[in-house]
Structure 1
Amino acid sequence: MRILEEVSRTLNEYLLVPNLTTADCTPAAVDLSAPLVRHRVGDPSAIRIAVPLTSAIMGAVSSPRLAIALAQCGGLSFIHQNQPIESQAAMVAAVKRHKAGFRFSDTNIKPSATLGELTTLLDAAERDFAVVTDDGSAHGTFLGLISTRDFHPQRHGTGDSVESRMRRAAGLVTAPPTVSLSEANTLIWDHRLDVLPVVAGDGRLESIVLRRDYELHKRFHNESIDAEKRFRVGAGVNTRDYSQRIPALVEAGADLLCLDSSDGYSVWQHDTLRYVRETYGDRVRVGAGNVVDGRAFRYLADAGADFVKVGIGGGSICITRDQKGIGRGQASALIDVVAERDAYAQRTGEYVPVCCDGGLLSDYHMAIAFALGADFVMLGRYFARFDESPSPLVRVGGQLFKEYWGEGSNRARNVSRYEHGDSQQLVFEEGVDGYVPYAGSLYDNVATTIAKLKATMISCGSTALRAFHDNAVLVPVSHQSYLQNTAEVRLRDRPSDPGQ
């Protein structure tokens, strides 16, 4: 037995002490880009992201729609592995079919559907238009478009067909799959279009380009894209069916894989990493975890991990600590692992990035994690709140929430992540099932988070994440300091309309 002398500390127990803010410390000068995979010290990482945010490997979080939106903003999503191999590969392929500026059409309908069914579809998807295809799928034969400007529920019968009010393909401007984004935007502005369908030679819908995405593209001009300008996407894998799942995900185009486990310090992760290296060499990149100390980091790095995830029991819906008594405060875990990462880089010449996964309850916790040395963060609850997450939007007590459940809950039944001996089912839960307050659009919220991170780094006199870590000065927060920061103030009611 060995008892560590330190106290297990969370990210909430630290504050940053400002450094000198110099004239070159401006929001425009701050570079938030981060390496995702191991690389030789001094050389660039083969995969970098402009915004150090990744979405968790969870069924309630990472869908193709969210993966595309996050890639547009400069981050990366990991499609969850708690599903059949074919389904996960199809989700990865759905993201890879889209180039920057080209959208997966997620609101589609058959021409034989009724206007009442269309209204329900548009309301549920919060869209004002739908693409009409022969089979109602995203890649069926393109037949036309229909928007809320083409009909009115009180003027046109809800039993009338979509075909009776849609604008037919023959009279619409379309583009071939070879069209560039610049050419597509020119067509949109020259013909005053809201939607430009991209249609293959056989008439099937490939993707769509939206007028409103033009400003998004200008606003988020650092999309996560590969050499062919397709959006990057990651995928989770497990230590059970990896020899079948990994080839399928590689074939589908996954840019990055990650072993998904509540405790990554295991011989099973070592064996899976060895399989990847022996089968693919460096052509396939795979991260591992989760861990909470330097020993486990070193074990996985030696086995070939391209990055290592840190965090056990610190997630908002994780109850591993309650159930098994295993874990460590996220700040203490990061401090230990980051020290080993830097020692490993000095000893081997290989830099293995560290991902902070868990314990991030607010935007400033992300800043503390980066100051402690995390290269990027992985977020579940944060992304589950947004329009783009796959979980249902529900109303509870007059307020809007998104459903959110842990992979260790009975709802997820993710045995491959929370393996309980030889059992093929969860013997006990390590996650909960609940709700998180609805927060609106991913685009708006990520922009706010980025603005906060940049402002924090400026106050600390840094314009790059590594310099932020190297120069950060942190101080533990006493109980009295915490109480002072959370003094109760009754807030003034704000009118919903700023003009009132």
Structure 2
Amino acid sequence: MKILDEVSRTLNEYLLLPNLTTADCTPDTVDLSVPLVRHRLDEQPAIRVATPLTSAIMSAVSSPRLAIALAQCGGLSFIHQNQPVEAQAAMVTAVKRHKAGFRFSDINIKPSATLGEVATLLESAERDVAVVTDDGSPHGLFVGLISTDDFHPRRHDLGDSVESRMRRAADLVTAPPTVSLSEANTLIWDHRLDVIPVVDDEGLLHSIVLRRDYELHKQFRNESIDTDKRFRVGAGVNTHDYRERIPALVDAGADLLCIDSSDGYSVWQADTLKFVRHTYGDDVRIGAGNVVDGRAFRYLADAGADFVKVGIGGGSICITRDQKGIGRGQASALIDVVEARDAYLRETGVYVPLCCDGGLLTDSHMAVALALGADFVMLGRYFARFDESPAPLVRVGGQFFKEYWGEGSNRARNVTRYEHGGGNELAFEEGVDGYVPYAGSLYDNVDTTIAKLKATMISCGATNLPQFHENAVLVPVSQQSFLQNTAEIQLRDRPSDTGR
């Protein structure tokens, strides 16, 4: 037995002290970009993102829709592994079909379908235009477009065919697959179009470009994209079926993998990492975890992990500490692992990024985690609240919530992540099933979070995260300081805040 001479501290127990804010510390000069994979300091990392936010490897969080939205904002999503290999690979493929500004056509219909069917399709998808292909598939023969401007449910017979009211391909402006986004947008504005189909020489649909995406593309200039301008996406794997799952995800185009486990300090994770290195060398990148001390970090770094996730028991829906008595305060875990990461760098010349996973209830917690040395954060509850998450939206007591469940809950039944002595069932739960307040659009909330992180760094005199790591000054918060920070006052009524 060994007892550490420390108190296990959370991120909520630290405050940042301001440093000198110089004239060059402005929001426009703050660079939040981070490496996601190991690299030598004199080399550029193979994967770098503009926004240090990633979404958790959870079925309630990381859908293709959310992955695309987060990539537009400069972050990265990890598609969850608690599903058949083919289903996960299909989700990865769905994201990789999208280029920045180019959309995979997901609202399609046959010309023989009825107007009633297309009306239902458009209403359920909250869209105003559908692409008509010969077989109703996203890559079928392009035959036309039909929108809510082309028919009216009270004027036209809903039993009539789509073909009777659609705008035919021969009368529409289209673009070839070689078109650039700039050229496509020029066509849209010159011809006053809402959508331009990208069609090959054989008439097959490749993708579409929407006018309404123009402002998004202008607003988010730091998308996470690969060399072909497709959105980047990650995927979770486990230590059981990795020999089948990893090749399928690689073939689907996953940019980054991560072993998904509540406790990463195991020979099984080392075996998985060795399989990747033996099979793919450095062409496939994979992170590992979770860990809470320097010993576990060094073990995974030596085994070849491209990044290491830090945190056990700190998640909002995680009850591992209650059930197993295992874990560590997130701040204490980060402090220990960061020290090991820096020692590894001094010894090997290789930098292994750290991901703070858990214990992040507020934007200020993210700032503290980054100040303590994390390179990026992984968020579950934060993203589960948004329109783009796959969780159902429900009304409870007059308020809107999103359903949210942990991968260790019986709802998820993620045995590959939480193995309790074999079998196909969880012996006990390490996660809960509940609700989180609905918060609206991912775009708006991420924009606010980024503004707060930049403001914090400006107050601390840092314009990039390496400076923040090196120069941040933190102080533990006493109970009295905490009480003073949360003193109760009677607030004025105001419109409900859809953020935190």
Interval containing the TM-score (normalised by the shorter chain): over 0.9
Range that drifts further, 325-334 or 111-120: 111-120
Following TM superposition, by how much is the alpha carbon of 1:340 offset from its aligned partner in structure 2, in angstroms? 0.5
CA–CA distance in 2 between the matches of 1:435 and 1:137? 36
CA–CA distance in 1 between the matches of 2:250 and 2:2? 42
Task: Name the SS of the counterpart of 2:90 in structure 1.
Answer: helix
Aligned AA for 1:261? S
1:54 is aligned to 2:76? no
- Residues 97-141 of structure 1 show CA distances to partners (whole Å, capped at 9, x for unaligned) of 222111223333444444454444434433333333344443333
CA–CA distance in 1 between the matches of 2:272 and 2:473? 39
Aligned AA for 1:12? N
1:25 is aligned to 2:25? yes
Aligned AA for 1:138? P
CA–CA distance in 2 between the matches of 1:362 and 1:115? 47
CA–CA distance in 2 between the matches of 1:282 and 1:241? 21
Following TM superposition, by how much is the alpha carbon of 1:216 offset from its aligned partner in structure 2, in angstroms? 1.5
1:181 is aligned to 2:181? yes
- Residues 400-433 of structure 1 show CA distances to partners (whole Å, capped at 9, x for unaligned) of 2222221111221111111111212211111122
Structure 1 residues 410 and 162 mapped into 2: Cα distance closer, same or farther (>3 Å)? Answer: farther
Return 5+ residue gaps in structure 1 as ranges.
Answer: none
Return 5+ residue gaps in structure 2 as ranges.
Answer: none
Range that drifts further, 120-129 or 82-91: 120-129
Using the size of structure 2 for normalisation, the TM-score is 0.95
Task: Give the corresponding residue for 2:272.
Answer: 272
CA–CA distance in 1 between the matches of 2:312 and 2:484? 29
CA–CA distance in 2 between the matches of 1:172 and 1:362? 49
Aligned AA for 2:81? Q
- Residues 220-245 of structure 1 show CA distances to partners (whole Å, capped at 9, x for unaligned) of 11111111212111111110111111
Following TM superposition, by how much is the alpha carbon of 1:322 offset from its aligned partner in structure 2, in angstroms? 1.5
Range that drifts further, 133-142 or 40-49: 133-142
Task: Give the corresponding residue for 1:215.
Answer: 215
Range that drifts further, 42-51 or 106-115: 106-115
Aligned AA for 1:320? T
Aligned AA for 2:476? P
Matches within 5 A, 1:451-462: 451-462=451-462
1:375 is aligned to 2:375? yes
Range that drifts further, 93-102 or 352-361: 93-102
Following TM superposition, by how much is the alpha carbon of 1:174 offset from its aligned partner in structure 2, in angstroms? 1.7
Structure 1 residues 489 and 173 mapped into 2: Cα distance closer, same or farther (>3 Å)? Answer: farther
CA–CA distance in 1 between the matches of 2:139 and 2:241? 30
Using the size of structure 1 for normalisation, the TM-score is 0.95
Aligned AA for 1:488? E
Task: Name the SS of the counterpart of 2:28 in structure 1.
Answer: helix
Aligned AA for 2:473? V
Structure 1 residues 161 and 243 mapped into 2: Cα distance closer, same or farther (>3 Å)? Answer: same
Following TM superposition, by how much is the alpha carbon of 1:148 offset from its aligned partner in structure 2, in angstroms? 3.0
Task: Give the corresponding residue for 1:224.
Answer: 224
Range that drifts further, 285-294 or 9-18: 9-18
1:309 is aligned to 2:328? no
**Count of aligned pairs:** 496
CA–CA distance in 2 between the matches of 1:114 and 1:263? 53
CA–CA distance in 2 between the matches of 1:285 and 1:479? 43
Task: Name the SS of the counterpart of 2:268 in structure 1.
Answer: helix
Range that drifts further, 55-64 or 118-127: 118-127
CA–CA distance in 2 between the matches of 1:149 and 1:326? 59
Structure 1 residues 200 and 86 mapped into 2: Cα distance closer, same or farther (>3 Å)? Answer: farther
Task: Name the SS of the counterpart of 1:29 in structure 2.
Answer: coil
Following TM superposition, by how much is the alpha carbon of 1:313 offset from its aligned partner in structure 2, in angstroms? 1.0
Task: Name the SS of the counterpart of 1:28 in structure 2.
Answer: coil
Structure 1 residues 359 and 107 mapped into 2: Cα distance closer, same or farther (>3 Å)? Answer: farther
1:471 is aligned to 2:454? no
1:486 is aligned to 2:499? no
Range that drifts further, 255-264 or 122-131: 122-131
CA–CA distance in 2 between the matches of 1:336 and 1:234? 27
Aligned AA for 1:404? Y
- Residues 449-500 of structure 1 show CA distances to partners (whole Å, capped at 9, x for unaligned) of 111111110011100011011111111122222222222233323368xxxx
Following TM superposition, by how much is the alpha carbon of 1:78 offset from its aligned partner in structure 2, in angstroms? 0.9
